[in-house]
Amino acid sequence: MIKLAVIYIKELKYYFKSVTAYVTTGIFLALSGYFFFSILSYYNLISYQSANTPYYRANLNLIEGVMRPLFGNISIILLLVLPLLTMRLLAEEKKQGTFELLLTYPVRDIEAIGGKFLAALTTFTVMLAATLLYPILLEIFATPEWGPILTGYLGLFLVGCTFISMGTFFSSLTSNQLVAGVSTFGLALFFLIIGWAVPFVGNTFSRVLSEFSLLRHFDSFAKGVIHTKDVTYYVFMTAFFLFLTLRSLESTRWRS
């Protein structure tokens, strides 16, 4: 466990001592801030217009009108930003040869991978925590319900876990960071939009596809529901890709 912690701290230092964490967080916050601004402006416009119609007014609420679309948008920005965060994790070390040295130390694979995964996850959590500013702003001027906001954040955190574990996996396959990043992006996007095919593939298969869809499982979190099924889905996906990473490390030894 000490070795995992040592690797974790080293990786975290890399993120926060170089510009990596600041650039990714900065761009992430700029984009999500812009989304928050435009969604909120639109919500304002609607609420002015519905001031005279009690029926519309009754249906307006900050969760449905602001936070839910915002969560949807943030999940898309994560799709773009997280592969950039994870692509270097192992690929860079493989290219420089430091990974070979690391593997000759008495360190188990799981300690190396675990430390790296957790460091990326921590960086992502810091990034995500900074967006709590938006619901806090809402709290200052209105009275949003905090329950669904927090479940939404839990959902985003779990989506992030999945993306990061995919990123770690692809980074373990190649020594080319660009290849790792693009592959992560591709697979993550695929799981995000896999649900689009649901109406066209027939009953049995559509059920399978919709269970695999990242978006579908995220939906209930954004609504304020924590479903065991959805939590299990993300935990399983994360564990699965981390497992693949361990296998891929093992295979680099006997394949070479």
Partner 1 sequence: MIQVEDLTKYYGLTVGIRNLNFQVERGEVLGFLGPNGAGKTTTMKILTCYLPPSAGSAKICGYNILDNPMEVRRRIGYLPENVPLYLDMKVREYLEFVSCLKGVPTNRVRTASRRVIEQCGLESVHHRTVGKLSKGYQQRVGIAQAILNEPEILILDEPTLGLDPKQIIEIRQLIKNLGQERTVILSSHILPEVSQVCNRVIIINEGELVAVDTPENLRNRLKKSSVIHIKLRDSDMTVTAKEILSGIEGVLMAKEEPAAEGVKIFTIESSPERDLREEITQKLVHENLPLLEIYSEELSLEDIFLQLVTEEVS
Residues of the shown chain interacting with partner 1 in the complex, contacts defined by CB under 8 A: 2-3, 6-7, 10, 14, 17-18, 96-108, 253-254, 256
Question: Toward partner 1, which CB reaches closer, 50 or 252?
Answer: 252
Say if residues 83 and 69 touch (Cβ distance below 8 Å): no
Task: Tell me how far apart the alpha carbons of residues 218 and 230 are, in angstroms, rounded to a whole number.
Answer: 7
Residue with tokens 């190396």: 112
**Measured CA distances, 150 to 100, 128, 154, 211 (Å):** 42, 12, 6, 23
* Beta carbon nearer to partner 1, 115 or 160: 115
Minimum distance of partner 1 from residue 171's CB (angstroms):
17
Measured from the CB of residue 96, what is the shortest distance to partner 1 in angstroms? Answer: 5
**104: which residues sit within 8 A by CB, 6+ positions away?**
none
Tell me which residue has tokens 């990786």.
11
CB-nearer residue toward partner 1: 6 or 136: 6
DSSP 50: G
CB of 176 to partner 1, least distance (A): 17
Torsion, Cα 104 18 5 77, to 10 degrees, reads -110
- Shortest distance (Å) from residue 2 CB to partner 1: 7
* Nearest distance in Å: CB 70, partner 1: 36
- Find the shortest distance in angstroms from Cβ 99 to partner 1: 8
Burial (0-12, 13-18, 19+ Cβ within 10 Å), 3: middle
Distance CA 8, CA 211 (A): 33
Q: At its nearest, how many Å lie between partner 1 and the CB of residue 250?
A: 10
Distance CA 226, CA 152 (A): 9
Could you tell me which of 94, 134, 132 has the C-alpha nearest to residue 116? 94
For residue 2, give the H/E element and its range. Answer: helix 2-17
Identify which of residues 60 and 101 has a Cβ nearer to partner 1 in the complex: 101
The residue among 107 and 209 lying less far from partner 1, judged by its C-beta, is 107
* Nearer of residues 95 and 227 to partner 1, judged by Cβ: 95
Residue nearer to partner 1 on the CB measure, 7 or 164: 7
With residues binned 3-state (H G I as helix, E B as strand, rest as coil), the percentages for the chain, rounded to 5, are 90, 0, 10
